C-alpha cells in the first residue's frame, strides 16, 4: 500500500492474474477497501477481531450486513440517513419521506444509499427533494457533489464532469430499489433492495 497509485493498480492486476492462474487459495489482508473489492472472491470484514460479514465483494458492497460494514465499504462513503418508519413501506427522514421496503419494521431506522445510486437533476421532478449544491468536486471520469438541505448532507457521485454549480438548486431522487434499511439500535440490516 506504499506504492504510487499507478503501480498499485498494475500490481493488483498482476496479483489477481497470478491467483487465477495458480488456482491457489490466498489470504490477502488489507485495510484498503478498493484492494479488498478488486482482489477478492470472498471478503471478511472485521471489527475488533469479530467478522461482521463474510461474503462476495458484490454482496458486501450492495448488501452490507450492518451499519459498520455499510459505512466502512465505499468511496465516497455511503449516505446514512436517520429516520422513522412512518407506515407500510414509508420512512420519514425529517424533511421528507422515502418510499421503500421496510420489511414490516417499526421505530427508528437508518436508510443507506450509495452516492452513485442517487439521481440528480437541475429541474424539479415528481418525487424529487430539493437540495442546494454545497460543493462540486470534478475528478475527470466522475464528479462528487455534496448537497445540503438544512443540516442534512448528501454525497452524490455522477459520471463525467458535472455542470452543476455551487449554491445551485438541485433535486435528488432516491430509487427504492437501491436502498438498504437498518435498525438504528442494533445496526443490523432489516430490508434491502433485491
pLDDT digits (tens, 9 = 90+) for 117-130: 999 999 999 999 99
pLDDT digits 0-9 by tens, 59-112: 999 999 999 999 999 999 999 999 999 988 999 999 999 999 999 899 999 999
Helix (H/G/I), strand (E/B), else coil: 140: coil
Report yes or no on whether pTM surpasses 0.85: yes
Query: Comparing 17-26, 66-75, 178-187, which segment has the lowest mean pLDDT?
Result: 17-26
How high does pLDDT run on average in the chain?
Answer: 93
What percentage of residues in the chain have a pLDDT greater than 70?
Answer: 97
Least confident window among 16-30, 43-57, 129-143: 16-30
Closest CA to 47 of 27, 78, 73, 28: 73
What domains appear along the chain, each with residue ranges and CATH number? 1-73 (3.40.50.300), 77-194 (2.40.50.140)
User: Which three three-digit cell numbers place residue 8?
Assistant: 498499485
The β-bridge relationship of strands 97-99 and 90-92 is antiparallel
User: Which pLDDT value is given to residue 194?
Assistant: 55
Q: What integer pLDDT is reported at residue 51 of this predicted model?
A: 98
pLDDT of residue 4: 84
How would residue 34 be classed by pLDDT, with cut points 50, 70 and 90?
confident
Element (H, E) at 26: none
Check whether 12 has a pLDDT greater than 90.
no
Amino acid at each position: 500500500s506504499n506504492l504510487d497509485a499507478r503501480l498499485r493498480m498494475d500490481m493488483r492486476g498482476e496479483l489477481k492474474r497470478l491467483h487465477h492462474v495458480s488456482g491457489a487459495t490466498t489470504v490477502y489482508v488489507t485495510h484498503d477497501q478498493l484492494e479488498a473489492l478488486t482482489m477478492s472472491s470472498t471478503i471478511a470484514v472485521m471489527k475488533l477481531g469479530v467478522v461482521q460479514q463474510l461474503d462476495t465483494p458484490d454482496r458486501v458492497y450492495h448488501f452490507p450486513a450492518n451499519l459498520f460494514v455499510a459505512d466502512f465499504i465505499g468511496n465516497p462513503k455511503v449516505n446514512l440517513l436517520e429516520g422513522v418508519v412512518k407506515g407500510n413501506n414509508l420512512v420519514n427522514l425529517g424533511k421528507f419521506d422515502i418510499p421503500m421496503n421496510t420489511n414490516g419494521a417499526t421505530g427508528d431506522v437508518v436508510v443507506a444509499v450509495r452516492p452513485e445510486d442517487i439521481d440528480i437533476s437541475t429541474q424539479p421532478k415528481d418525487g424529487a427533494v430539493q437540495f442546494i449544491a454545497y460543493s462540486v468536486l470534478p475528478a475527470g471520469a466522475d464528479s462528487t457533489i455534496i448537497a445540503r438541505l438544512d443540516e442534512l448532507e448528501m454525497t452524490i457521485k455522477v459520471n463525467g464532469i458535472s455542470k452543476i454549480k455551487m449554491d445551485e438548486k438541485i433535486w435528488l431522487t432516491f430509487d427504492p430499489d437501491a436502498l438498504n434499511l437498518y435498525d438504528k439500535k442494533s445496526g443490523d440490516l432489516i430490508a434491502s433492495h433485491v
